[in-house]
Structure 1
Amino acid sequence: MTIPFIDLKTQYRALETQIQARINRVFEHGQYIMGPEVRELEQKLEEFTAAKHCITVASGTEALLISLMALNIQPGDEIITTPFTFVATAEVIVLLGAIPVFVDIEADTCNINASLIEARITAKTKAIMPVSLYGQPADMDEINLIAEKYQLPVIEDAAQSFGATYKGRKSGNLSTIGCTSFFPSKPLGCYGDGGAIFTNDDALAQAMREIRVHGQSKRYVHTRIGVGGRMDTLQCAIVLAKLERFDWEIEQRQLIGQRYNALLSDKVRLVTQRPDRTSVYAQYTVFTDAREQLQATLNEQGIPTAVHYPIPLNEQPAYKNLCSQEPTPVANKVAQQVMSLPMSPDLDGNAQNTIAEALSKALTV
């Protein structure tokens, strides 16, 4: 038996009728760019997160880029973020000529260590960009308090945590700006690229709406520097169909994550889940000092694994000389230990038992 790492086929079978109906509606009206489904999705996501504004965009990367552009980030500005994340987080900073300032992470959650942020703030600091990793929000209240003290905006990179909560509030609506991705493997995904930005600030929302359509305030009137950053209508239609099942999927992800915890807690070290927040388990990740051997053994038994992420961003060739040089020993160590197991809302109990048994045997060899 081969267990899929992310089971999108079972999800599609459950939603096939709704997805096809939504797609066919787009084919019928023919508005493939900025069609009615775009605003419909934004309104539904505003309701879901309780954010005042949702702006759909072409990808999670575009969401981060447009957010920084709306904040008027300039060359030489410093943005505080984590080195233990997907490259897009730092990529957008560097694309604008700004400097990523990497702050080390917590060893148990893998999220940015909020207690280390204030020491890295300088006169050049223009924003803080925490990442809510593996499905669990970072320490957003602590980060927001530091930001308020220094009058800095906070951009939550919530690409992996959309649907999770922090002290009862939805990830994506925890700071000045929240960004998410609808990449197919994300908790709420489309069938291509897509993303969204959330804010309660009217001026920022207006700026971001204009930036995503080449800086237009109205047709052929360009009041800002912009990008072609729209999410297409077909992808919005797919997310609208998937949104009907999303609350159930969040519940299933949490149940499956808790079951993994129960099965594996005496076998490997787990990512810690803080009691004041929930996780949507975008990845189910464990720590091991024998990762390569473990991956090879599990792969032989049809159990796929992945590593998110093997090299911190401040050690990546393209970024090593473009960022601050402060060491991040925890991120460096964790990058050698993390391993993600199959995780989907449709992962059944038998498959979980198989994974746990195989992992247990592999660890005793």
Structure 2
Amino acid sequence: MEFRDLKSQYNKYKIEIDSAIQEVINNANFIGGKEVNTLERRLAEYVDVKHCITCANGTEAMTLLMMAWDIKEGDAVFVPDFTFFSTGEIVSFRGATPIFVDVDKDTFNIDTVKLEKSINKVINEGKLTPKVIIPVDLFGLPADHIQVEKIANKYNLKVLEDAAQGFGGSINGRKACSFGNAATTSFFPAKPLGCYGDGGAIFTDNDELANLLNSLKVHGKGENKYDNVRIGVNSRLDTIQATILNVKLTAFIEHELDDVNRICILYTKNLKGIVETPVIPEGYVSSFAQYTIKLKSKEGRDALQAKLKENGIPSMVYYVKPMHEQGAFAEYNHDDSDFEVTNELCDTALSLPMHPYMNSRDVNFICKIVLKSNY
């Protein structure tokens, strides 16, 4: 059994994917070209924003925004404590300070009450200047972007929606990657929309920001790549990955998003009341990068994972260590009591196999093992 079954997806779309890759090879147009332009246009239309700027990966996408917004030493950027390392890493990479915020116990996304308290604490201390909030759409579920936007407006902060796991999710019909001043996503293979390597994208309605990002991602180019008007980076999505994504985007729109939500319903029907199952607030749609349950204890979580493994069922722990305990952030002083929910999740959360190509037989087998284990 696969945790995220890319093989079944490829077999279903093998003819289309192979043909698309072969066309790029035949044309020998490996950087840029119509495939990248087509992908950017289609992604922008799907999300319903004016601009999509593709780049090398999701981390680079966020880094490019930090560069464009001139985030630097002395700035504070607010990041959820329960997320992947890169969301905080890109802040420190620019010399700024990541301020970690505990998450909501139901959605696992940034706790907006604690977020506002953290902003006021930084303001009152007077050592750093609050600049940006980075809410993460964790496991495919959009963060509470409506409340985050209200807080950002109140304190004159920018918002970067980290939708690396959230592409395809929505709030009242509004798509993930359309919130904040700009949004980013990742095309890492295991993501809801993934390529066969690394890739990422930035979404924005701001024309000036889009122009700046298109310059920064290609060595700070001006009129052309040999006219360098600023210091930039080399962060382009290659054409083969773009053409693969064009095939997979069609599949995602036509059935994959619906299919993972069908699998979610089946999981939750079997497991509700036995373990804590994902909470999807009213009006929200998750793209289910992961289906994550919560056990009562670390011992129970680890025992269940071992039992699943015995039965050939892969599972994953996201995340073993909270952001505030990462060695790379050891210079910052943190009060562990500020992160009660995150600390609990790191000990009790477990992600089960989840992808559009699962069948009910697989789901029922997984649930049977969970039910029998009674952890």
Where does residue 229 of structure 2 map in the other structure? 223
Q: Is 1:354 paired with 2:365?
A: yes
The percentage of counterpart residues that share the same residue type is 41
Residues 163, 280 of structure 1: 8 Å contact kept: yes
Where does residue 282 of structure 1 map in the other structure? 289
1:360 is paired with a residue whose SS is helix
Where does residue 189 of structure 1 map in the other structure? 194
Map Cα deviations across residues 87-140 of structure 1 (whole Å, 9 max, x no partner): 110111111101000111001111000122222223601110000101100100
With structure 2 as the length reference, what TM-score do the two structures score? 0.94
Residues 17, 247 of structure 2: 8 Å contact kept: yes
Residues 23, 238 of structure 1: 8 Å contact kept: yes
Match of residue 278, structure 2, among 271, 277, 281: 271
Residues 77, 97 of structure 2: 8 Å contact kept: yes
Where does residue 255 of structure 1 map in the other structure? 262
Where does residue 337 of structure 1 map in the other structure? 348
Q: Is 1:298 paired with 2:308?
A: yes
Q: Post-superposition shift, 1:198?
A: 0.1
1:56 is paired with a residue whose SS is strand
Residues 218, 225 of structure 2: 8 Å contact kept: no
Map 1:113-124 onto structure 2 (within 5 A).
113-121=111-119, 122=123, 124=129
Where does residue 7 of structure 1 map in the other structure? 5
Q: Which moved more, 1:264-273 or 1:175-184?
A: 264-273
Map 1:1-365 onto structure 2 (within 5 A).
3-121=1-119, 122=123, 124-217=129-222, 218-247=224-253, 248-288=255-295, 289=297, 290-322=300-332, 327-363=338-374
Q: Post-superposition shift, 1:85?
A: 0.5
Q: Which amino acid aligns with 1:103?
A: V
Residues 47, 177 of structure 2: 8 Å contact kept: yes
Q: Which amino acid aligns with 1:163?
A: G
With structure 1 as the length reference, what TM-score do the two structures score? 0.97
Residues 100, 324 of structure 1: 8 Å contact kept: no
Residues 219, 225 of structure 2: 8 Å contact kept: no
Q: In 2, Cα distance between the equivalents of 1:73 and 1:323?
A: 21
Q: Which amino acid aligns with 2:273?
A: D
Structure 1's 237 and 358: CA in aligned 2 closer, same or farther, altered over 3 A? same
Gap runs ≥5 in structure 2: none
Q: Post-superposition shift, 1:258?
A: 1.2
1:126 is paired with a residue whose SS is strand
Residues 220, 233 of structure 2: 8 Å contact kept: yes
Aligned length: 362
Q: Cα RMSD over matched residues?
A: 1.2
Q: Which amino acid aligns with 2:355?
A: S
1:125 is paired with a residue whose SS is strand
Q: Post-superposition shift, 1:323?
A: 6.7
Q: Post-superposition shift, 1:167?
A: 1.8
Q: In 2, Cα distance between the equivalents of 1:17 and 1:331?
A: 44
Structure 1's 169 and 299: CA in aligned 2 closer, same or farther, altered over 3 A? same
Q: Which amino acid aligns with 2:214?
A: R
Q: Post-superposition shift, 1:333?
A: 1.2
Residues 61, 185 of structure 2: 8 Å contact kept: yes
Residues 6, 344 of structure 1: 8 Å contact kept: yes
Q: Which amino acid aligns with 2:212?
A: A
Q: In 1, Cα distance between the equivalents of 2:117 and 2:195?
A: 39
Q: In 2, Cα distance between the equivalents of 1:324 and 1:206?
A: 38
Residues 280, 286 of structure 2: 8 Å contact kept: yes
Residues 100, 323 of structure 1: 8 Å contact kept: no
Q: Which amino acid aligns with 1:130?
A: P
Q: Post-superposition shift, 1:325?
A: 5.2
Residues 182, 195 of structure 1: 8 Å contact kept: yes
Q: Post-superposition shift, 1:324?
A: 5.8
